[in-house]
Each structure stands twice: as C-alpha cells, then as structure tokens.
C-alpha cells in the first residue's frame, strides 16, 4: 500500500484493488478525510456529508450485523433502496464478506421482485420502508429461502404488522452501535460480485452475472476516456440498481476519488442541480429531452426574437464545435460567440448549476438534435453505448473526438466487430460470466471464444466509431420488404413536446402507423388554435385531429426515406407505465404487451388496406 500522504487525486489501479470492496479499502486508506458522499437528511431538513473514513466506520457496523446472520460466502443478498449512502454501506459490507449483491428497482412490481428473489435464492433483503414489505410479503409467502428482511424506515401504522413478521427487522434494531475493522475475505477478482436482472421487454428477466473484475476493468477503462478527478462533484439520480449508474456513477468516481451527492428525487432534480452545482452529469436521454422540451416550451410562449436569438446561439455554438472537432471551417459568425454565450448559453447553463464541464448520456439513444442543442450551448455531451451484460460500457465519444450521431469508438480493453445481420459483437474483460441459472440463454448470446452478441444492429466507420442503427428483435419489416428500425423515428417524433410516448408499428403491413400518448395541455392550445373541441376523443374532431398530428409527425420525420412515411396515427388515453406493465423498470417500452393490449386499435388503422 502507498502512504496516505501520496497524491489523493490518483486513480486506483485494477490490480491494486483486485475486488470491488478492495477498491473501497484503497480509497478509504488514500483519502480518509476527503468528502465521499452527501445526501439529504429529511428528518433534519439539511444536507449531510460523509468522509471516506466515516463511510468505513459505518460499513464495519453493517458488516458486523451481516455476520450475525446465517450467511456463507457466495450467498445472495438483495437491496431495494433509493440512491443513498446506506446503499453503498450495505453493498460494501456484503462484498467484503464474499456475498453476492442483487439489486432491485424500488418501483418494480412485487410479483416481478418475488420472482427474482426466488430465482437468485436471496437470503437477506434490505428495504427502504415497511410499506414495501407489506406488498412484497404477499408475493413472497411461499419463499422459504428469504430468511431476513431489514427495513430502514417504518411506515406509519405498520408497528403491529412488523411484530407479526418473524423475518422482518428494523435497521435501528439490527445494526450494532460499534464494530471492529472492515473485513475483506475474498481476494479473487474473478469471483461473482453481483447478479443484475435485465428488465427484458418479453418474458422473465434474466440474471446477468458480473464479477469484480468485470466491473473494475470497465470503470477503469471509462476513466481513461472520460476523465473524472478528485475535484469533481457528481449528482447521482439514476437508480444504482441500473448498471450504468453503478459503474459510471459509483465505482468510477470511487476509483478517481470524486464526491457523489445523492439527489432527493427526480421531481426535485432542478432544485438539486442549483443547490449542488455538479461538475459532471451522468444521465439517460430522457432527462436531456425534458430540459430541451422545457426550453422550447418557454421560447414558444415568449417573443419571436427570443426564439430567434436562442436558435442563432445554438447554430453558432455548434458551428464552433464542428470547427474545433476538425469537421468544419471557421466562420465569421464565430466572433459573435462571446456575446451569445453571455446572453443565452450562460443563462441556460445556470439552470443546470453553472459548473457543468461534462455531461454523459447512456442507457438509450440520444437524438442528434438534442445533443446539438446542449453542445451548441457549450456543454460537451458525450454519448456512449453499453449493456448490462458488458458491465455496461462498450463505446463512448471523447471530448476531442465527439460525433453526436455515433456512440464513439470502443473504450480501452474492449473489442467489437459486426456479425450476422450486422449485429454488434463485443469481447473484453467486461463481458459477463453468463446468465444465472440459465445456460441456454448464455449460449445463445455468448460464443465459446468470448464474443457477446448485443442484439443491436450497428455500423463501424473507418475511424472505429460505432453507430447503432437498430435492434435485431425490433426491426419492422414492411410487406414491401423494406426494413425500418423504429427507435430513431420514435425519438424524432418526440422532439415535438406534444408527443409524450410513441410506438411505431407496421410489421408485415404495407405502410407505417404510430400509437401515441399526447400531452393534454399542449393539445388544448393546439385545439383552440384550430377551433376544435379540446376533447381528444370527440368523434367529430377525429379526422381533423389525425391530420394535425400527421402534419407534426411528418415535420419531425422528413429526413427518413420515403418508404418510412407514417400514414396513420392513433392517440391513446392511458400512458404506458411500469405499473400497468407497458414499461420495464428502466423505462423501455414493452412493445409486445402494448401491441397486444391495443390490438383492436391497430387493426382499425389498417382497415381496408
């Protein structure tokens, strides 16, 4: 080990850490007094901070409590908790004892969680509140493997309920007051660290098995292309049960010694951005799309000059970006940038805290248009690509080599090539061990020589940059033989803030149609402009409403080929959510379920064709 007095900003090497809990051990040794985490204490109404040393002391207590349970190395323990320092404490304590951590989404359905608990034979589960267990316990009544449920916060009127539950205990009664040093019993980097269930759009979720080495090497490679340092402050709001946040927003910052602040909620994200003022933002496209939609809505309600000035600033800023990237020439309009930055760009960036130097986007495709807005305003948005099975990052754009329409070149230590039907194949130290209890599913995606079939269709340019062009299982094949990847068109349509959710349809048909969920407030304004009844479902309005919607859709999709023209649209009243099983916990649409649910509406669109 190196001395505490050495450079605290250095990145901890994979070989030195060996395991994920070993990474924490090294960071706590090198940077004991540096702030590690912050979160909001609702009981006191203030933000609280934890140094690495304080985290270490807390982890020792959690580990002592876990040691009192009948758990052996390799046993699975579950966590269903919002992002907070306790998430880290529990996981680090468990990993140090050689246990395998299985995370769950707090918003997931009880039946789904019960299936995963049983499939992984989870023996201990950490929950945020007793209300969760009231719902889960019914679904888990035949699960005899789950021996202990630890609950952080008792919900109102659940004391009597908890007293009848033999396996449920409150955290305050479970944690000891003091503990010895943190233990690290596992020294094998290739041992199983976690099982992460992928929220498949069809069938039961599959448990992705990732080793300590899988995740450590991926975090280290990310830091080679996206520099994060001990001076950085990250605001964490994507769920830690999502491997993108876990690797990029938890382990990579720990490796670099950066500070993590846990946001209070997505609803309070705007306020937290202004309070915390992060320097690095890790997000999925939906957050960037919401900010973009908010800006556009505000501009639409303001004077025309304001909208023109904003668009001019973005155009000039993006032109400067293309020039700096070596893809464009210098223009006279670039001389206006200092003024445009002050009048427009700085004001938008202040809404994001005013200190962001870098924004990362992953988990789904970010449209080139949304990227253009933020990049044009001076915020480098770097899109990447990955999947749970690859720990997750495979590709990422770099600040000096950023092509927003692509997901960038591979990160160090990862190889890619194109397989049958241009499927992207991935190989590297980050590729999973396989699917838990599912050798057939493992063999279907993982070759004997280590190539993982992503299921995504891609192209690779001469500079090694990867562009994802579709999903093998989701490609729509028209009766004319033309193939249409739906995701790009759906993203394009949702650039218009009227459309909240969109699903493209047309498999085996002669033309494309869409099912949409509309923003009712925005529709009311449009209806008034066209002298229509604001009631979307007024039969008299139907034809005119469809014409208006198709006009807006056509405007957003004009860059697509002629055969991809959308000719019909049906607007639906019920949003597609996790609760009604139309979305996965990672907010991906379950296309099969949606099409089955609205079979009659789809058939009506194609009557007579």
Q: In whole angstroms, how far apart are CA 165 and each of 109, 144, 432, 524?
A: 21, 13, 37, 51
Q: Where are the beta strands (DSSP E) in 58-172?
A: 76-80, 100-103, 122-129, 148-153, 168-170
Check: CB of residue 99 under 8 Å from CB of residue 75: yes
List, for residues 96-126, the tens digit of each pLDDT value.
Answer: 999 999 999 898 888 889 999 999 999 999 9
Segment among 48-52, 324-328, 353-357, 509-513 with least mean pLDDT: 509-513
- The fold for domain 14-272 equals Rossmann fold (3.40.50)
The pLDDT of residue 330 is above 90? yes
427 and 451 Cβ atoms separated by less than 8 Å? yes
| Nearest partner of 450 among 464, 434, 436, judged by Cα | 434
pTM confidence score: 0.84
Q: Is cis: bond before 392, omega within 30 of 0?
A: yes
The arithmetic mean of pLDDT across residues 513-536, rounded, is 90
Mean pLDDT of 294-313: 91
27-65 pLDDT, tens digit each: 999 999 999 999 999 989 999 999 999 999 999 999 999
* Helix or strand (DSSP H, E) at 208: strand 206-211
Closest CA to 384 of 370, 398, 373, 400: 398
| Contact criterion met (CB below 8 Å) for 29 and 40 | no
- Ordered by start, the domain boundaries in the chain are 14-272, 475-605
Look up the CATH number of domain 475-605: 3.30.300.30
**228, 253 in Cβ contact below 8 A?**
yes
**Cα 583 to Cα 99, 284, 364, 423, distances in angstroms:** 31, 16, 14, 25
DSSP 377-389: TT--EEEEEE-GG
pLDDT at 472 over 90: no
Label residues 213-226 b or e (16+ Cβ within 10 Å = b).
bbbbbbbbbbbebb
Q: What is the pLDDT of residues 164-214, one digit of tens each?
A: 667 999 999 999 998 999 999 999 999 999 999 986 545 678 999 999 999
3-state SS, 548-581, equals HHHHHHHHHCCCCCHHHCEEEEEEECCCCCCCCC
DSSP codes, 354-370? S---EEEE-SSPPPHHH
Kindly report, residue by residue over 381-413, the tens digit of the pLDDT.
999 999 999 999 999 999 999 999 999 999 999
């Amino acid at each position: 080990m190196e001395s505490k007095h050495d450079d605290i900003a250095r990145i901890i090497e994979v070989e030195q850490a060996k395991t994920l809990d070993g990474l924490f051990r090294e960071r706590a040794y090198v940077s004991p007094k540096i702030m590690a985490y912050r979160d909001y204490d609702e009981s006191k109404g203030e933000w609280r901070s934890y140094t690495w040393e304080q985290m270490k002391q807390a982890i020792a207590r959690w580990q002592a409590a876990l040691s009192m349970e009948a758990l052996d190395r390799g046993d699975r323990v579950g966590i269903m908790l919002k992002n907070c320092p306790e998430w880290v404490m529990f996981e680090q304590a468990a990993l140090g004892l050689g246990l395998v951590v299985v995370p769950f989404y707090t918003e997931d359905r009880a039946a789904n969680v019960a299936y995963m608990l049983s499939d992984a034979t989870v023996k201990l589960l950490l929950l945020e509140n007793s209300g969760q267990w009231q719902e889960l316990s019914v679904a888990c009544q035949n699960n005899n493997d789950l021996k202990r449920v630890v609950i952080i916060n008792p919900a109102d009127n659940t004391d009597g309920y908890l007293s009848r539950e033999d396996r449920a205990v409150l955290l305050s009664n479970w944690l000891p007051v003091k503990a010895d040093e943190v233990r690290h019993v596992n020294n094998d980097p290739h041992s199983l660290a976690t099982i992460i269930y992928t929220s498949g759009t069809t069938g039961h979720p599959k448990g992705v098995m990732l080793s300590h080495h899988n995740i450590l090497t991926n975090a280290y490679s990310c830091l080679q292309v996206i520099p994060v340092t001990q001076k950085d402050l990250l605001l964490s709001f994507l769920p830690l049960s999502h491997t993108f946040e876990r690797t990029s927003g938890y382990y990579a910052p720990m490796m670099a010694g950066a500070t993590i602040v846990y946001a209070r909620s997505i609803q309070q994200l705007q306020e937290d951005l202004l309070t915390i003022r992060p320097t690095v933002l890790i997000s999925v496209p939906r957050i960037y799309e919401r900010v973009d939609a908010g800006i556009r809505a505000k501009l639409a309600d303001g004077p025309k000059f304001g909208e023109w000035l904003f668009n001019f600033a973005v155009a000039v800023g993006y032109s400067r970006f293309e020039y700096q990237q070596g893809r464009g020439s210098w223009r006279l309009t670039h001389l206006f940038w200092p003024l445009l930055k002050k009048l427009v760009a700085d004001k938008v960036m202040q809404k994001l805290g005013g200190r962001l130097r870098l924004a990362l986007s992953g988990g789904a495709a970010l449209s080139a248009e949304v990227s253009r807005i933020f990049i044009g305003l001076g915020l480098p948005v770097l899109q990447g690509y990955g999947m749970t099975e690859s720990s997750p990052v495979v590709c990422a754009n770099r600040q000096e080599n950023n092509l927003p329409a692509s997901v960038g070149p591979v990160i160090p230590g990862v190889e890619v090539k194109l397989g049958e039907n241009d499927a992207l194949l991935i190989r590297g130290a980050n590729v999973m061990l396989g699917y838990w209890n599912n050798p057939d599913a493992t063999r279907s995606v993982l070759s004997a020589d280590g190539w993982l079939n992503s299921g995504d269709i891609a192209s690779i340019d001469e500079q090694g940059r990867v562009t994802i062009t579709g999903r093998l299982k989701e490609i729509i094949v028209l009766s004319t033989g033309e193939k249409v990847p739906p995701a790009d068109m759906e993203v394009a349509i949702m650039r218009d803030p009227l459309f909240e959710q969109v699903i493209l349809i047309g498999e085996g048909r002669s033309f494309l149609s869409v099912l949409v969920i509309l923003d009712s407030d925005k529709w009311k304004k449009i209806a008034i402009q066209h002298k229509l009844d604001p009631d979307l479902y007024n039969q008299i309005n139907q034809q005119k409403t469809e014409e208006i919607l198709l006009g807006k859709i056509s405007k957003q999709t004009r860059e697509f080929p002629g055969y991809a023209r959308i000719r019909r649209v049906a607007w639906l009243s019920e949003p597609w959510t996790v609760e009604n099983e139309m979305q996965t916990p990672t907010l991906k649409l379950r296309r099969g379920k949606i099409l089955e649910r609205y079979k009659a509406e789809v058939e009506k669109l194609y009557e007579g064709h």
